[in-house]
């Protein structure tokens, strides 16, 4: 992959620019932020007193979208944390292609964390801590390394599993002093103002990959293009003509 390079200090993006949610805007935002912060995954939060930004991605919908974002960040020399679901409805992390994508993102240098769904855990027979431990071990079997970070999936609610010392919890209040997210593509003016103008020293930024790289819509039998409709009309017309000709032949 060819690296993405930027020369000279880049001015901050405008609020209007950040409503576009596309590849160009994302590169623009990350290029600006890396001039101010050390951008890190959860597993690399610095101990020294330096401005840092924890870059986090909740993979709620599409692993393919996450991979595209992971590749862009790799080209930019960035590393971030991708939280994947093992109890979600949109993808199966254990399916061959999905597991390969998760491994590939890990291979690009990104941290893979567990995006747990507490509401789903409550449906299991075992207790929630056992369910979390089971999913941690399962995700570790996919990536071949220890999972060090976890985050809650809405509407699970924050505050769960804070007592588990073996994992970094993205919901830990100590890590969410300045917390900014793009949920539902709705930045808040206040959060963007804080990020771009006030330049806080410690930031957690949540970006959902499918907002910036929409997943390809699977084509169904009812998802017809204009050419499909024309072809169906042509085939129907041809069939009708053949039936009429056949009847006329029988009558003669």
> Is 4 within a domain?
no
d(CA 157, CA 168): 17
Same domain assignment for residues 242 and 187: no
Count of domains forming the chain: 2
User: How confident is the model at residue 160, as a pLDDT?
Assistant: 77
Average pLDDT over residues 163-183: 89
The answer to whether residues 125 and 241 belong to one domain is no
Are residues 228 and 208 located together in one domain of the fold? no
Do 140 and 251 belong to one domain? no
- Contact between 182 and 208 under an 8 Å Cβ cutoff? The reply is yes
Whether residue 104 is predicted with pLDDT greater than 50 in this model: the reply is yes
Average pLDDT over residues 137-153: 96
**Same domain as 157, residue 115:** yes
**69 and 182 together in one domain:** yes
**66 shares its domain with 129:** yes
Confidence category of residue 222, pLDDT binned at 50, 70, 90: very low
Read off the tokens for 213. 């790289």
Q: Is residue 86 part of a domain?
A: yes
Which ranges of the chain does DSSP label H, i.e. alpha helix? 23-34, 63-75, 96-107, 118-121, 128-143, 189-193, 209-212, 226-251
Residue 33: CB atoms within 10 A of its CB come to 21
pLDDT tens digits, residue range 186-208? Answer: 897 788 888 988 889 999 999 99
Identify the bridge partners of residue 55 per DSSP, sorted by sequence position.
205
pLDDT tens digits, one per residue of 16-36: 999 999 999 999 999 999 999
The winner for highest mean pLDDT among 91-95, 194-198, 240-244 is 91-95
Q: What is the largest CA-CA distance in the chain?
A: 97
Q: Which residues form the domain of 87?
A: 17-212
Q: Would 6 be classed as within a structural domain?
A: no
pLDDT at 6: 54
Helix (H, G, I), strand (E, B), or coil: what is residue 40?
strand
- Assess if residue 175 is contained within a domain: yes
pLDDT at 225 over 60: no
pTM of this prediction? 0.82
């Amino acid at each position: 992959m060819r690296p993405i390079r930027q020369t000279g200090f880049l001015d901050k993006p405008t609020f209007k620019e950040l409503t576009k949610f596309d590849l160009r805007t994302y590169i623009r935002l990350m290029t600006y932020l890396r001039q101010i912060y050390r951008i890190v995954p959860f597993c690399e939060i610095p101990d020294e007193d330096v401005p840092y930004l924890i870059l986090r991605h909740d993979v709620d919908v599409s692993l393919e979208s996450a991979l595209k974002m992971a590749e862009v960040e790799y080209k930019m020399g960035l590393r971030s944390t991708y939280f994947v679901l093992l109890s979600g409805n949109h993808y199966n992390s254990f399916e061959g292609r999905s597991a390969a994508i998760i491994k590939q993102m890990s291979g690009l240098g990104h941290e893979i964390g567990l995006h747990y769904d507490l509401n789903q855990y409550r449906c299991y027979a075992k207790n929630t801590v056992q369910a979390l431990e089971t999913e941690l071990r399962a995700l570790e079997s996919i990536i071949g390394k220890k999972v060090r970070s976890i985050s809650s999936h809405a509407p699970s609610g924050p505050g769960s599993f804070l007592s588990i010392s073996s994992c970094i919890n993205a919901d830990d209040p100590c890590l969410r002093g300045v917390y900014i997210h793009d949920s539902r593509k709705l930045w808040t003016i206040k959060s963007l103002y804080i990020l771009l103008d006030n330049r806080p020293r410690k930031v957690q930024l949540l970006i959902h990959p499918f907002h910036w790289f929409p997943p390809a819509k699977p084509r169904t039998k009812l998802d017809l293009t204009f050419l499909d409709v024309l072809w169906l009309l042509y085939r129907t017309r041809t069939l009708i003509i053949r039936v009429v000709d056949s009847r006329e032949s029988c009558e003669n």
